[in-house]
């Protein structure tokens, strides 16, 4: 395996109240074997299965969840995913320090086997969230005891099908079956080794020698050769590659300009001739998920693009268009895309466009401080609901980073949360998407990510899915 | 009886990129056992090629050789490399011109001396070490046990040459070849090394082949002489006949080119290759009256160095020196290497900080000068260096080298630079048309002329000449000395002329200061050196100057 | 020799303090902080992290604390890999770098010196041309081409050696060869030039005149002087080989410090940057010292010049 194994392996090490079906990604019982939901959809009562145990043999109790979630909601120990817990009543206030008493948060553990969770508004995908690593239980007593050392193989106690046997940074991580896992008899793999390989070419050679059975990304330079390999897979992925406009500065404070540039971008050229590995060109933002169907967006139309730019007051009969610079973080892939798009804009709209790269951390700074005109971006959904995409562009959201703040969009985002009917919600999302990519265009979607990799033919129980989630619990090897 | 060495009809031809050179042409020479023979000639005459041919040290790929070399009843030219190797260092040994570079700087002296023993005898370790100590003893090291542990750079040139001799003598060879063994040494050391060679030769009964350009040392050391010119031996005979009755014009020219202490002071030395008979007129007494205006006044100047471990020892390189230099005077500064001559010059040029004392250039007190002031000073004091090879930038043309101080000190407007360069070249008797040539295209003497032209470029008040002729062949030496004399008269130069050779100094100087261990021990009038020298050191210096007259040694 | 060692040892801490100070301010001057990422970090988390790592303090306090920590040998935790201390990271990743670097430098010396000597002794023959041609390739062939090429030949086609990884000797061969190539080439050229220069010296002629064999002349008389250019390049070479192993570490997945060094700077991992810089700084200072000392050990003239100076 390659990639960032620490995150990928979290699912194998930790199991939350629920887990996701490896193929359909529907929530399934995990540490909780059953649950009930109140009429209004706001109160979830989870029953922890009696056989649930930590890898050190201690039983998993409701309080473990309570403490873990409290830890996740404490800024000093939490991370950038804390907002996923904000569906819970009072969680956001507690996190922001408006409320210091944790008992005000809607989580209760009346007994060792029962966990009651109260939400602010009904949440259609809450059972999916409880499968997310942020909701997984950790051994807070161990963290207290061992401090920084708690993640070491000697000290790490897990709740999932596997436990950590060895961790050699930059060499390999070795997982072995957790004998105390409630479903241990189902787990087929005795041992899983993950290798962080920065050099994908080396990884590919290791794969060819069958020293690796699964590669989660491929060396793009050898794409043509790899495509012919029967072990190659390419699946649609729950992520979108797009450009942001800085709407606070001219000329991109003008929505017609943004619209013109979106219309003047030939996404198919990018995916077909430059990327060439199965990415889908899109003018929409959120991928289709859980029944949501995205709108079409502004498809490539050179004439309309020019017309729109003229409407905005630029072009042969208007002002000259100022030079545009696309900012991207240093990477060969971003560079080719940026240069191709700059060329398209020059060609289609007659504007002066160029691309400039900066180092990653500088890029992040520039993006946060709105110190750019156009910049490359991407978003990968955290859970199987469109809100994971649309929430970002609420005014003032930390992930917005365009300076765009639209009252109607904000309003729709808010009401969609209160709504429990999925048809109603999805129609609101479609409205939001229309604002985002057709009317206002603070962003310019380019393509849908593709999930490419290589999987040895003797690996079984591996299901392709849009979120690239593969619970090692279900995987087994044929001899 | 067959001679020890018999060379007959030897030809050596070098093959270069641009054709070939015949370095040795039809040379025949015999040396009997225990005999001492000299080959005399100037650089490039082929004398060293003969020595290298004997030793089998000529690069085989670049030469062709024919003729006969029989040594000790063996035919050297038909031997394999391996066989010759067995003779080298055992039966036939060689010492070279520059003892400092001919010894390996990375290895201890003792080891380098013992090396022929290891190679040619079964002697090893302790025995070889003991032998090395004895050898050092025998060539005049006074602390041989310690000195086997020293490295060449820790010894003086003379001591290095002694060590070379010890190494050459290690296996008691039948023939010692000495290639310019004393050219890099000062007169007194030269005298000592030559007498060592003579002693060793008679002690061991070995034959000696001395190769030199200096007829002076030949008279002292050898029984027979072969004079070589352009690859050929032009004259051979006993030393006595050659000196008293030279047959070949070249031999006569060589003899006349040597400045002599014993004879009258000549105005011009004879130079070789010029068919015109040099003017051998008696110098007009006081032809140039040096004005009595003092240019440089040195008062009680001392330069001390700390040296040795922890800087415990103080070396008084210049020790309370005082003198005044008059305008248009030529001052000769004589002394051995290490006597403090160079340090004195450096101190005058403000390159060393004096420990005590004061220096005045006219009314200007030279003390704590700023960079700018020193720059100004250097325009007024210029220097001619010893090594005409190392002191010229090989990447610049002669014209640019001479023009450099002109630009540096902004002496003439830029437009006039070229004219001034041509003027200077004419002054030092170089063809101005050669200004676009590079230093390597000039001979040693011509290069030294470029050096002089450069020094004169910015009309200095004082010219320092630091051993300007000691690296040159006698005939070229004569040319340069003649030139300096001419320039002195033409330009009324004020010169400090530094040399270890009293005869050379006598030829150019008005007044001579003898320097010994940092002190000026004696002042002499150049015209009356021989008569008036009283200090024992001066007399030692005088005695050491070789005189090309065998009668003085063999009579 | 001793005073020089002492003097150098005295200078070393000053040099390192300068290095530490410059590093401290330069990384903080560079835009971007250690905690920013593609996904926005909530303000509360960021300020909690800043407080935890003392980044909320004024710069001079941070600096004093850092120096204090260094004096106690405490480099603190990494800001990126927050469950590992800088000390852990260095002690995990320095040994592979050292092992790889040492192997590579020894290999480079052995190959370089051998080729250099042979080329010099056979100067301007076919052997010399082949040797020097090889060094040109060696200098110009980048590791990211040479490494995969070796993998392709020796791992994929011939199957003799593992593709990548770290842990046993066979895994060290390909990366060490890759890493040593340009240095071996440079050593060879320096050795050849040094040898040719020494062989034209007067004292070599003296050695011939003594009747010594070719072998003795080369080993006893020429080698010591001829190797000096190699020695003076050795200090910078060792430094370059250990700090420049990033690409080779990547290709062969060696868990070396090179990647930590570069990535820590890219990640603005202030504490890790400090730790790795300090390690490399110390290393370079030591290497140069060692090269100087061995230079003096080989050349008696340098030794004496230093005593007097």
Are A373 and A252 within 8 A, CB to CB?
A: yes
**Cross-chain residue pair B89–C210, CB shorter than 8 Å:** yes
Residues of C in contact with B103 (CB under 8 A): 203, 206
Classify B151 as helix, strand or coil: coil
**Cross-chain residue pair C42–A398, CB shorter than 8 Å:** yes
C-alpha R_g of chain C: 24
**What's the DSSP call for residue C33?**
-
pLDDT at B319: 87
**Cross-chain residue pair B85–C211, CB shorter than 8 Å:** yes
Distant-in-sequence, close-in-space partners of A472: CB < 8 Å, separation ≥ 6: A9, A11, A12, A161, A162, A175, A189, A192
**pLDDT higher than threshold 80 for residue C93:** yes
Within 10 angstroms of residue B297's Cβ, the number of other Cβ atoms is: 16
Are B72 and B174 within 8 A, CB to CB?
A: yes
Cα separations in angstroms, C273 against A364, B470, B543, C20, C261: 19, 61, 74, 10, 6
Please report, for the domain that includes residue A209, its CATH number: 3.40.190.10
Q: Is C57 on the interface with A (CB under 8 A)?
A: no
B363-401: buried (b, 16+ CB within 10 Å) or exposed (e) per residue? eeebeeeeeeeeeebbbbbbbbbbbbeebbeeeebbbbb
Same structural domain for residues A371 and A473? no
| Percentages of chain C per state (helix, strand, coil), in multiples of 5 | 75, 0, 20
Please report, for the domain that includes residue A25, its CATH number: 3.90.76.10
Nearest CA among B386, B387, B352 for reference residue B366: B352
Q: Is C54 on the interface with A (CB under 8 A)?
A: no
**Cross-chain residue pair B102–C206, CB shorter than 8 Å:** yes
Mutating which of B61, B91, B102, B104 best tests the C interface, going by the most C Cβ atoms within 10 A?
Answer: B104
Same structural domain for residues A365 and A335? yes
Same structural domain for residues A328 and A464? no
Are A159 and A184 within 8 A, CB to CB?
A: no
Q: How far is C64 from chain A (nearest CA, A)?
A: 24
pLDDT at B277: 39
Domains: count for chain A: 3
Nearest CA among C84, C98, C79, C94 for reference residue C274: C79
Q: How many CB pairs under 8 A join A and C?
A: 122
Residues of B in contact with C224 (CB under 8 A): 106-107
Residues of C in contact with B116 (CB under 8 A): 210-211
Distance of alpha carbon A445 from alpha carbon A436, whole angstroms:
10
**Cross-chain residue pair A361–C268, CB shorter than 8 Å:** yes
The token pair at A5 is 């194994």
Q: How far is B96 from chain C (nearest CA, A)?
A: 8
In chain C, which residue's Cα lies nearest the Cα of B309?
C307
Same structural domain for residues A435 and A318? yes
Please identify, among A155, A176, A209, the residue that sits at the C-terminal boundary of a domain: A155
Q: What is the pLDDT along chain B (555 residues), one digit of tens a residue?
A: 678 999 999 999 988 777 788 889 999 999 998 899 999 988 778 888 899 999 988 888 888 889 999 998 889 888 888 888 889 988 999 998 888 889 999 998 888 988 888 888 888 778 888 888 888 888 888 888 888 888 888 888 888 888 888 888 888 899 999 998 888 788 888 888 888 889 888 888 899 999 988 888 888 889 999 999 888 999 999 988 888 888 888 888 888 887 777 777 776 777 665 433 344 434 444 445 556 788 889 888 888 887 655 556 677 888 888 888 888 888 999 888 778 888 888 888 888 888 888 888 888 888 888 888 888 888 888 888 887 777 888 888 888 999 888 888 877 888 888 888 998 898 888 888 888 888 888 877 888 889 899 988 888 888 998 888 877 777 788 888 888 888 887 887 889 999 888 888 888 888 899 998 888 899 988 888 878 888 898 888 888 888 777 776 654
Residues of C in contact with B115 (CB under 8 A): 207, 210, 212
pLDDT tens digit sequence for C169-187: 899 999 999 999 999 999 9
**What's the DSSP call for residue C152?**
I
Q: Is C203 on the interface with B (CB under 8 A)?
A: yes
Same structural domain for residues A172 and A318? no
Q: How far is A173 from chain C (nearest CA, A)?
A: 13
SS (H, E, C) chain A: CCCCHHHHHHHHHCCCCEEECCCCCCEEECCEEEEEECCCCCEEEEEECCCCECCCCCECCHHHHHHHHHHHCCCCCCCCCHHHHHHECCHHHHHCCCCCCHHHCCEEEEECCEEEEEECCCCCCHHHHCCCHHHCCCCHHHHHHHHHHHHCCCCCCCCCCEEEEEEECCCEEEEEECCCCCCHHHCCCCEEEECCCCCHHHHHHHHHCCCCCEECCCCHHHHHHHHCCCCEEEEEEEEEEEEEECCCCCCCCCHHHHHHHHHCCCHHHHHHHHHCCCCEECECCCCCECCECCCCECCCCHHHHHHHHHHCCECCCCECCCCEEEEEECCHHHHHHHHHHHHHHHHHHCCCEEEEEECHHHHHHHHHCCCCCEEEEEEECCCCCCHHHHHHHCCCCCCCCCCCCCHHHHHHHHHHHHCCCHHHHHHHHHHHHHHHHHHCCCEEEEEEEEEEEEECCCEECCCCCCCCCCCHHHCEECC
Q: Which ipTM did the prediction report? A: 0.86
Distance of alpha carbon B36 from alpha carbon B181, whole angstroms:
14
**What are residue B461's phi and psi, to 5 degrees?**
-70, -40
Distance of alpha carbon B154 from alpha carbon B162, whole angstroms:
14
Distance of alpha carbon A172 from alpha carbon C166, whole angstroms:
10
Interface of C with B in 221-240 (CB under 8 A): 221, 224-225
Distance of alpha carbon A1 from alpha carbon C203, whole angstroms:
63
Distance of alpha carbon A192 from alpha carbon A214, whole angstroms:
11
pLDDT at B289: 53
Q: How far is B315 from chain C (nearest CA, A)?
A: 12
Q: Is B114 on the interface with C (CB under 8 A)?
A: no
Residues of A in contact with C45 (CB under 8 A): 75, 78-80, 82
Domain that holds residue A439: 235-451
HSE-up of residue A344 (Cα within 13 Å, Cβ side)? 24
**pLDDT higher than threshold 70 for residue A6:** no
Strands A214-215 and A353-358: unpaired
In chain C, which residue's Cα lies nearest the Cα of B179?
C206
Mean pLDDT of chain A: 92
**What's the DSSP call for residue C267?**
T
Are B447 and B231 within 8 A, CB to CB?
A: no
What is the domain partition of chain C in residue ranges? 86-199+229-308
Same structural domain for residues A295 and A309? yes
Which chains reach chain A with 3 or more Cβ–Cβ distances below 8 angstroms? C
Q: Is C95 on the interface with A (CB under 8 A)?
A: no
Q: How far is C194 from chain B (nearest CA, A)?
A: 14
Long-range contacts for C210-214 (Cβ within 8 Å, ≥24 apart)?
C210/B88, C210/B89, C210/B93, C210/B115, C210/B116, C210/B119, C210/B167, C211/B85, C211/B86, C211/B87, C211/B88, C211/B89, C211/B90, C211/B116, C211/B119, C211/B120, C212/B85, C212/B89, C212/B115, C212/B119, C213/B85, C213/B119
**Cross-chain residue pair A197–C266, CB shorter than 8 Å:** no
Nearest CA among B15, B24, B62 for reference residue B44: B24
Mean pLDDT of chain C: 89
Cross-strand partners of B326: B294
Q: Which of C201, C210, C224 sits opposite B116 (nearest CB)?
A: C210
Please report, for the domain that includes residue A446, its CATH number: 3.10.105.10
Mutating which of A83, A147, A364 best tests the C interface, going by the most C Cβ atoms within 10 A?
Answer: A364
Distance of alpha carbon B248 from alpha carbon B227, whole angstroms:
9
Distant-in-sequence, close-in-space partners of C148: CB < 8 Å, separation ≥ 6: A201, A202, C251
pLDDT at A382: 87
Classify B533 as helix, strand or coil: coil
Cross-strand partners of B208: B36, B176
Superfamily of domain C86-199+229-308: MetI-like (1.10.3720.10)
Are B302 and B356 within 8 A, CB to CB?
A: yes
Cross-strand partners of B5: B31, B71
**Cross-chain residue pair C84–A365, CB shorter than 8 Å:** no
Q: Is C29 on the interface with A (CB under 8 A)?
A: no
First to last CA, chain C: 12
Q: How far is C166 from chain A (nearest CA, A)?
A: 7
Residues of A in contact with C250 (CB under 8 A): 198-199
Same structural domain for residues A215 and A290? no
Residues of C in contact with A95 (CB under 8 A): 42, 44
Longest CA pairwise span in chain C (Å) = 84
Are A456 and A231 within 8 A, CB to CB?
A: yes
Classify B228 as helix, strand or coil: strand
Mutating which of A168, A194, A361 best tests the C interface, going by the most C Cβ atoms within 10 A?
Answer: A361
Q: How many CB pairs under 8 A join B and C?
A: 81
Q: Is C37 on the interface with A (CB under 8 A)?
A: yes
Residues of B in contact with C201 (CB under 8 A): 101
Residue with tokens 């105005």, as numbered in its chain: B267
Q: Which of C32, C44, C51 sits opposite A97 (nearest CB)?
A: C44
Strands A107-111 and A476-477: unpaired
**Cross-chain residue pair C220–B107, CB shorter than 8 Å:** yes
What mean pLDDT do residues A263-285 have?
93
Residues of A in contact with C42 (CB under 8 A): 75, 78, 80, 82-83, 95, 398
Q: Which of B90, B96, B154 sits opposite C304 (nearest CB)?
A: B154
In chain C, which residue's Cα lies nearest the Cα of A83?
C42
Residue C243: pLDDT band by 50, 70, 90 thresholds? confident
Distance of alpha carbon B514 from alpha carbon B534, whole angstroms:
11
**What are residue C146's phi and psi, to 5 degrees?**
-65, -40
Distance of alpha carbon B332 from alpha carbon B524, whole angstroms:
9
Same structural domain for residues A400 and A323? yes
Residue with tokens 């192993």, as numbered in its chain: C245
Same structural domain for residues A137 and A45? yes
Same structural domain for residues A71 and A174? no
**Cross-chain residue pair C208–B57, CB shorter than 8 Å:** yes
> Is B touching A (3+ C-beta pairs, cut-off 8 A)?
no
Distance of alpha carbon A412 from alpha carbon A434, whole angstroms:
12
C-alpha R_g of chain A: 24
Mutating which of C158, C253, C256 best tests the A interface, going by the most A Cβ atoms within 10 A?
Answer: C253
Q: Is C168 on the interface with A (CB under 8 A)?
A: no
pLDDT at B272: 62
**Cross-chain residue pair A202–C47, CB shorter than 8 Å:** no
Residue C134: pLDDT band by 50, 70, 90 thresholds? very high
Query: Rounded to the nearest 5 degrees, what angle is found at the Cα of B433, between the Cα atoms of B382 and B476?
Result: 55
């Amino acid at each position: 395996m390659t990639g960032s194994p620490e995150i990928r392996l979290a699912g194998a090490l930790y199991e939350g109240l629920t887990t996701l079906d490896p193929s359909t990604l529907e929530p399934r019982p995990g540490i909780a074997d059953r649950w009930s939901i109140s009429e209004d959809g706001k109160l979830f009562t989870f029953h922890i299965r009696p056989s649930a145990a930590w890898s050190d043999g201690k039983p998993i109790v409701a309080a473990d969840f309570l403490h873990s979630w409290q830890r996740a909601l404490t800024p000093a120990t939490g991370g950038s995913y804390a907002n996923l817990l904000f569906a819970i009543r009072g969680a956001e206030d507690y996190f922001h320090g408006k409320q210091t008493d944790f008992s005000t948060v809607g989580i209760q553990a009346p007994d060792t086997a029962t966990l009651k969770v109260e939400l602010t508004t009904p949440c259609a995908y809450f059972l999916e969230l409880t499968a997310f690593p942020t909701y997984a239980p950790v051994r807070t007593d161990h963290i207290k005891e061992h401090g920084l050392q708690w993640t070491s193989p000697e000290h790490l106690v897990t709740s999932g099908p596997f436990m950590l046997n060895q961790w050699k940074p930059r060499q390999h991580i070795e997982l072995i079956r957790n004998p105390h896992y409630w479903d241990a008899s189902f787990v087929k793999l005795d041992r899983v080794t993950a290798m962080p390989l920065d050099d994908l070419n080396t990884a590919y050679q290791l794969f060819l020698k069958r020293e690796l059975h699964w590669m989660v990304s491929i060396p793009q330079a050898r794409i043509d050769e790899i495509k012919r390999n029967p072990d190659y897979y390419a699946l649609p992925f729950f992520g979108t590659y797009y450009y942001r406009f800085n709407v606070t500065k001219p000329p991109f404070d003008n929505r017609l300009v943004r619209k013109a540039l979106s219309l003047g971008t030939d996404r198919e050229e990018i995916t077909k001739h430059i990327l060439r590995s199965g990415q889908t060109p899109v003018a929409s933002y959120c991928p289709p998920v859980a029944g949501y169907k995205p709108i079409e967006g502004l498809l490539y139309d050179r004439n309309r693009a020019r017309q729109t730019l003229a409407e905005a007051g630029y072009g042969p009969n208007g002002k000259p268009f100022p030079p545009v610079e696309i900012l991207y973080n240093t990477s060969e892939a971003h560079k080719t895309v940026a240069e191709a798009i700059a060329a398209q804009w020059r060609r289609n709209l007659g504007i002066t466009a160029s691309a400039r790269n900066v180092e990653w951390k500088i890029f992040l700074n520039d993006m946060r401080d709105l110190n750019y005109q156009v910049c490359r971006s991407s978003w990968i959904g955290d859970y199987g609901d469109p809100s994971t995409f649309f929430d970002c562009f609420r005014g003032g959201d930390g992930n917005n980073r365009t300076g765009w703040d639209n009252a109607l969009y904000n309003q729709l985002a808010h009401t969609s949360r209160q709504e429990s009917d999925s048809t109603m919600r999805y129609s609101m999302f479609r409205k939001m998407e229309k604002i985002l990519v057709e009317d206002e265009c603070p962003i310019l979607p380019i393509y849908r990510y593709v999930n490419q990799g290589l999987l040895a033919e003797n690996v079984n129980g591996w299901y392709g899915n849009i979120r690239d989630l593969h619970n090692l619990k279900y995987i087994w090897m044929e001899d | 009886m067959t001679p020890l060495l018999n060379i007959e009809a030897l030809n050596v031809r070098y093959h270069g990129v641009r054709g070939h050179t015949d370095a040795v042409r039809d040379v025949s020479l015999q040396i009997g056992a225990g005999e001492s023979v000299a080959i005399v000639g100037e650089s490039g005459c082929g004398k060293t090629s003969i020595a290298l041919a004997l030793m089998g040290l000529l690069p085989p790929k670049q030469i062709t050789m024919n003729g006969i070399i029989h040594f000790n009843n063996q035919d050297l030219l038909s031997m394999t490399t391996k066989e010759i190797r067995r003779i080298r260092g055992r039966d036939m040994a060689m010492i070279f011109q520059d003892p400092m570079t001919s010894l390996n700087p990375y290895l201890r002296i003792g080891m380098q001396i013992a090396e022929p023993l290891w190679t040619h005898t079964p002697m090893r370790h302790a025995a070889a070490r003991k032998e090395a100590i004895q050898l050092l003893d025998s060539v005049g090291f006074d602390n041989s046990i310690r000195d086997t542990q020293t490295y060449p750079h820790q010894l003086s040139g003379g001591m290095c040459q002694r060590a070379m001799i010890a190494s050459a003598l290690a296996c008691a060879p039948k023939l010692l070849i000495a290639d310019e063994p004393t050219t890099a040494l000062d007169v007194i050391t030269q005298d000592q090394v030559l007498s060592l060679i003579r002693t060793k030769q008679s002690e061991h009964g070995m034959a000696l082949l001395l190769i030199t350009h200096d007829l002076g040392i030949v008279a002292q050391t050898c029984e027979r002489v072969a004079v070589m010119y352009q690859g050929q031996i032009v004259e051979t005979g006993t030393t006595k006949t050659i000196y008293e009755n030279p047959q070949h014009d070249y031999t006569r020219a060589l003899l006349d080119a040597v400045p002599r202490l014993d004879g009258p002071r000549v105005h011009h030395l004879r130079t070789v290759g010029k068919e015109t008979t040099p003017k051998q007129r008696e110098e007009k007494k006081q032809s140039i009256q040096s004005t009595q205006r003092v240019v440089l006044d040195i008062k009680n100047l001392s330069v001390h160095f700390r040296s040795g471990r922890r800087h415990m020892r103080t070396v008084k390189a210049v020790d309370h020196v005082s003198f005044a230099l008059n305008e248009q005077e030529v001052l000769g500064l004589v002394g051995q290497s290490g006597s403090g001559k160079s340090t004195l010059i450096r101190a005058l040029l403000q390159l060393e900080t004096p420990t005590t004392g004061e220096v005045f250039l006219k009314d200007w007190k030279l003390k704590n000068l700023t960079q700018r002031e020193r720059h100004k000073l250097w325009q007024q004091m210029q220097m001619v260096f010893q090594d005409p090879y190392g002191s010229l930038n090989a990447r610049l043309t002669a014209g640019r080298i001479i023009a450099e101080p002109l630009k540096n000190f902004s002496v003439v407007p830029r437009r006039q630079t070229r004219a001034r360069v041509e003027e200077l070249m004419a002054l030092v008797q170089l063809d101005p048309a050669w200004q676009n040539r590079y230093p390597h295209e000039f001979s040693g003497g011509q290069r030294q002329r470029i050096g002089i032209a450069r020094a004169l470029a910015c009309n200095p008040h004082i010219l320092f000449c630091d051993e300007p002729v000691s690296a040159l062949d006698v005939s070229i030496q004569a040319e340069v000395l003649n030139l300096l004399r001419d320039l002195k008269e033409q330009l009324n130069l004020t010169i400090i002329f530094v040399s270890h050779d009293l005869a050379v100094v006598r030829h150019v100087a008005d007044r001579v200061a003898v320097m010994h261990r940092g002190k000026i021990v004696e002042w002499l009038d150049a015209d009356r050196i021989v008569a008036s020298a009283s200090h024992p050191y001066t007399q030692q210096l005088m005695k050491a100057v070789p005189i090309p007259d065998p009668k003085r040694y063999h009579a | 020799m001793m005073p020089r060692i002492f003097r150098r040892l005295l200078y070393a801490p000053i040099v390192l303090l300068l290095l530490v100070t410059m590093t401290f301010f330069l990384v903080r001057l560079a835009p971007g902080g250690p905690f920013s990422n593609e996904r926005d970090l909530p303000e509360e988390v960021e300020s909690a992290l800043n407080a935890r790592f003392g980044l909320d303090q004024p710069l001079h306090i941070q600096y004093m604390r850092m120096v204090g920590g260094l004096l106690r040998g405490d480099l603190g935790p990494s800001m990126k890999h927050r469950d590992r201390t800088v000390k852990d990271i260095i002690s995990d990743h320095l040994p592979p770098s050292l092992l790889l670097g040492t192997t590579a430098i020894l290999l480079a010396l052995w190959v370089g010196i051998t080729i250099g000597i042979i080329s010099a002794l056979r100067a301007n023959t076919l052997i010399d041309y082949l040797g020097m041609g090889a060094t040109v390739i060696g200098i110009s062939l980048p590791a990211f081409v040479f490494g995969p090429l070796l993998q392709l030949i020796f791992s994929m086609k011939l199957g003799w050696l593992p593709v990548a990884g770290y842990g046993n000797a066979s895994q060290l061969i390909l990366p060490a060869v890759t890493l040593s190539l340009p240095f071996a080439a440079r050593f060879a050229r320096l050795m050849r030039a040094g040898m040719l220069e020494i062989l034209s010296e007067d004292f070599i002629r003296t050695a011939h005149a003594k009747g010594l064999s070719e072998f003795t002349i080369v080993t006893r008389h020429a080698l010591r002087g001829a190797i000096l250019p190699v020695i003076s390049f050795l200090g910078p070479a060792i430094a370059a080989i250990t700090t420049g192993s990033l690409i080779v570490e990547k290709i062969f997945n060696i868990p070396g410090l090179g990647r930590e060094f570069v990535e820590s700077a890219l990640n603005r991992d202030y504490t890790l940057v400090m730790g790795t810089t300090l390690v490399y700084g110390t290393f370079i200072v030591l290497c140069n010292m060692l090269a100087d000392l061995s230079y003096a050990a080989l050349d008696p003239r340098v030794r004496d010049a230093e005593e007097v100076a």
